[in-house]
Amino acid sequence: MAKQDDLWTRSRQAAYAEITRVAMELFLEQGFDGTTIDQIAATAGISRRSFFRYFGTKEDIVLGDLANQGALVREILESIPVSVPPWEALREALWRVDGEGLQSEVALKIAKMMYETPSLRARSIEKHLQWQEQLVPNIRLRLGVEADDATDPAADAIVAGAIACLDVAGQIWARSDGALDLAELYDRAVRAVGHPG
């Protein structure tokens, strides 16, 4: 039974990856709003109903991995010694996940599409709020507060600030057609909100 479950999981992952690949090609070719779920399903060789077994919305195709990245950031953050101050620990965790390969030509096209499409922008903010929930407990510990103490706003403010700085840096990076350095933009944004970075 375990082999059968593994086979089913691998088949599902392969289908998910293929639908994502097909959809992203369509999005980059004809725009996010110009691409329909029916087109994606037809091009991927599946039914509309099957599409919804893999994705809740069209936006989830572009941003589905963002939730997984939040879990990775949390794991990395938890591996960084608690003695490392909050802003430095967040920067290290964010850049270990986001810094690698983010500045490719395809990533630039995806970033532009995201920042120019209101529904993608809204979904991105929603995913980043999920990140915040995952990261705040560790930042509380770094501040000497109990991980489940929701009465002190400091950890929430720091995490929200770091995520906002990442978002602003990404937006400016996309606007510059990738000419500016994303990490430097992030550091400048952090300094602008009052942290020496």
Q: What is the DSSP string of 175-194?
A: HTTT-S-HHHHHHHHHHHTT
Q: What is the largest CA-CA distance in the chain?
A: 56
- The pLDDT tens digits of the residues spanning 47-57 come to 999 999 989 88
| 191 closest CA partner among 162, 157, 170, 153 | 162
For 9-39, the pLDDT digits (tens) are 778 788 888 998 899 899 989 989 999 999 9
16 burial (CB, 10 Å; 0-12 / 13-18 / 19+) is: middle
Mean pLDDT calculated for residue range 103-131: 85
pLDDT (tens digit per residue) in 68-90: 788 899 999 999 999 999 999 99
The span from the CA of 51 to the CA of 43, in Å, is: 11
User: Is there a contact between 117 and 174 (Cβ–Cβ < 8 Å)?
Assistant: no
The pLDDT score that the predictor gives to residue 44 is 92
pTM for the model:
0.81
Domains of the chain, each with CATH number or no CATH: 2-54 (1.10.10.60), 59-192 (1.10.357.10)
Q: What is the pLDDT of residue 161?
A: 95
Q: What is the pLDDT of residues 140-155, one digit of tens each?
A: 999 999 988 889 899 9
From residue 65, alpha-carbon distances to 24, 62, 124, 174 in Å are 13, 8, 11, 19
